[in-house]
Structure 1
Amino acid sequence: MLKLAAVLIALTCLATPVSADDEHLSVFVSVPPQKTFVERIGGNHVEVTALLQPESNPHTYEPTPRFVEALAAADLFMPIGMPFEAALMNRLRAANPTMAIVDARKGLSLRPLDKHVHEAAMDARGHQDHEDHAADDEHHDTDENALDPHVWTSPPLVATMATTIRDELTRLDPDHAADYAANLDVFVAELHALDAAIRADLAPLAGSAFMVYHPAWGYFAETYGLIQIPIEHEGKSPGPRTLSALIDRARAAGIQVILVEPQFSPRAAEQVARAIGGRVATVDPLTPDYIANLRQVAHTIAAAARP
């Protein structure tokens, strides 16, 4: 169980404290929506901490040593494929070799991150213009084959994740198995209702595109038959030719709203919006209020497509 004193000391700087009740399971997750999912299944039998806070930039986030110490004392960690997790794993396994680590994406079909229209910015010889190339130089170490970690933007995938959460909590705490099973049933019913509502909103838009700054909505787009067009890709800001190609593509697709996240600068998105006579709208995939947030994202996309 918990090394309670170490956890309480290490978490004094965090938004989510560990309970003084050592009967609770201590669960760490990577992003705030996951925290919501585990709390919905675990109820008052769990204390959950998200590593990445809603205001944090996932490209630059790195947990502090104090945070790693707290994580190493937990009962369960459920990573989800965020960039910061790879460096964390070795430290975590060294600190607590027996800790339960379960990939939250277990059983899910994963997709690559969507790329911006890099290819459209190539000249006839297949070379980027100098300014576009220079804009990307500092990111050469980025994995071009990176998988998209934002699986939680698809309610059907979250339903599968919720079952994994139920199974792991039951394995660690079989005395409360009935509670975990009942909570799962309620949560999955809400996810099904959310999925049905989003499908009703977006069905008329099947096959159409929406533009985002950061490619966080790929699973959402795939689930609901849409096409996500990102401006940024793997931390890369577009150079002039790529930006021009994005503007042309937005015009051709009739895009009027560009979705931006509060964790990133909206400057490039605002440039595109001005060029197409559109606007930017802020949506946050890291918001803990998952169901209300997904409904709002669907409404924003649907409203932008109406004449």
Structure 2
Amino acid sequence: MMLRLFYLLCLLIPLAAHAAPLHVFVSVLPQQMLVERVGGAHVVVETLVKPGSSPHTYEPTPSQIARLARADLYVHIGMPFEAAWLPRIQATNPTLHLIDARLGIALRPLAAHSHDEDAAAAHDHAALDPHIWTSPLLVKQMAATLETTLAALDPAHAADYRANLTNFINELDALDRDIRAELASVTARRFMVFHPAWGYFAAAYGLEQVPIELSGKEPSAQRLAALIEQAQREGVRVIIVQPQFPRKAAAQVAQAIDGTVESVDPLSAEYFATLRQLAHLIAHSAPQP
């Protein structure tokens, strides 16, 4: 009897361990939404950069490092802190699976405009833009890559991951249609931002972002004057800022053009609402034909 009980326990222990959700880490909140949509009940997701924090100055806390040491998967996306911390994270957990969310995606430079900045700043703009989630079309690619990864790590729930992916893609297609409808009548295709976080969104919808801040630096007086002149010439009335950055330079431009400053957070967990908000602001602040 005891021997039979022992064999039964040996069979049940692996099954119980396998039934536990995959512990997944991501860098920023929009990724958490993506992993939760595709992973469903079979994943537990933690985000390293918390609301209100900036990925540009972030460092993992000791408690996060401790939990990463027990995690199954980390989905990285090219945030500045990852280059320094990924080797340390792997050292604490050699069995941690890593996947680059950018696989198969053509990356853009962080800022495509040179305006009047100096050559050194222009060189800095060669840095690749990690904000790929701002395009619903690219999120579909990211989701497909993630589904393949989760199914490989947890084949018992592969059918669930596939069904979740299908539902998520349908949601993204609906979001894409809504944004295109919102922007359909916009003739002025440029919009002004403080930090150039919306390049992939702009590329997806035939727009062009004009950044105030470049290479993490406030604009010079000469550049600020040029931006004000450009905004006046093109009828810009709204400057888009994100809460992780100062508003002073954006407010100066807005005041000079008799416009407003609006906050839209590309790091928000409310992914669908954020992109709809941005499209609405661009559509309703653009000059009318």
Fold shared per TM-score above 0.5: yes
* 51, 66, 78: which one aligns with 1:69: 66
Q: Partner of 1:270: helix, strand, or coil?
A: helix
Q: Which residue is equivalent to 1:32?
A: 29
The answer to whether the aligner puts 1:301 opposite 2:252 as a matched pair is no
Report how far residue 65 of structure 1 moved: 3.0
Secondary structure in structure 1 of the residue aligned to 2:192: strand
Q: 1:96 Cα shift?
A: 1.7
Alignment CA distance shift 1:226-1:207 (3 Å): farther
Please list every run of 5 or more consecutive structure 1 residues that lacks an aligned counterpart in the other structure. 1-20, 128-132
Cα RMSD, aligned residues only: 2.0
1:7 alignment partner in structure 2: none
> Is 1:87 aligned with 2:98?
no
Identity within the alignment, %: 55
Alpha-carbon distance in 2 for matches of 1:222, 1:210: 12
Cα deviation for residue 98 of structure 1 reads 2.4
Offset, 1:75: 0.3
Which stretches in structure 2 are left out of the alignment for 5+ residues? 1-17
Displacement of 1:26 after TM fit?
Answer: 0.3
Q: Partner of 1:44 in structure 2?
A: 41
Distance 1:161 1:121 in 2: 34
Structure 1 residues 117-143: Cα deviation after superposition (integer angstroms, max 9, x where no partner) = 5x4256xxxx9xxxxx9xx8xxx9x94
Note if contact 2:188-2:286 (Cα within 8 Å) is conserved in structure 1: no
Q: Distance in 1 between matches of 2:43 and 2:223?
A: 47
- Residue 207 and residue 304 in structure 1: after superposition, are their counterparts in 2 closer, same or farther (change >3 A)? closer
Residue 105 (1) aligns with residue 102 (2): yes
- In structure 1, what is the Cα distance between the partners aligned to 2:191 and 2:95? 44
Which amino acid is the alignment partner of residue 98 of structure 2?
I
Report the Cα offset of residue 205 of structure 1: 2.5
Aligned equivalents of 2:103 and 2:235: distance in 1? 37
**How much does 1:159 deviate?**
0.5
Give the Cα separation in 2 of the matches to 1:206 and 1:49. 41
1:207·1:225 contact (CA, 8 Å) conserved in 2?
no
State how far apart, in whole Å, the 1-side matches of 2:168 and 2:79 are.
Answer: 24
Which residue of structure 2 lines up, in the alignment, with residue 235 of structure 1? 216
> 8 Å contact 1:116–1:232 — kept in the other structure?
no
* Secondary structure, aligned partner of 1:259: strand
Shift in Å, 1:116: 5.5
Number of residue-to-residue matches in the alignment: 271
Which one has the largest radius of gyration? 2
Q: 2:13 maps to which residue?
A: none
- Contact 2:55/2:81, CA 8 A, preserved across alignment: yes
Contact 1:115 1:230 in 2 (8 A): no
Partner of 1:59: 56
Q: What does residue range 264-303 of structure 1 map to in structure 2 within 5 Å?
A: 264-303=245-284
Write out per-residue CA displacement over residues 82-121 of structure 1, whole angstroms, 9 at most, x where no aligned residue.
Answer: 101111111012112221000011111110011555x425
TM-score (ref. length: structure 1): 0.83
Residue deviations 1:201-223 (CA, integer Å, cap 9, x gap): 11222561000011110000000
Q: Any conservation in 1 of the 2:188–2:234 contact (CA below 8 Å)?
A: no
2:174 is matched with which residue?
A: 193
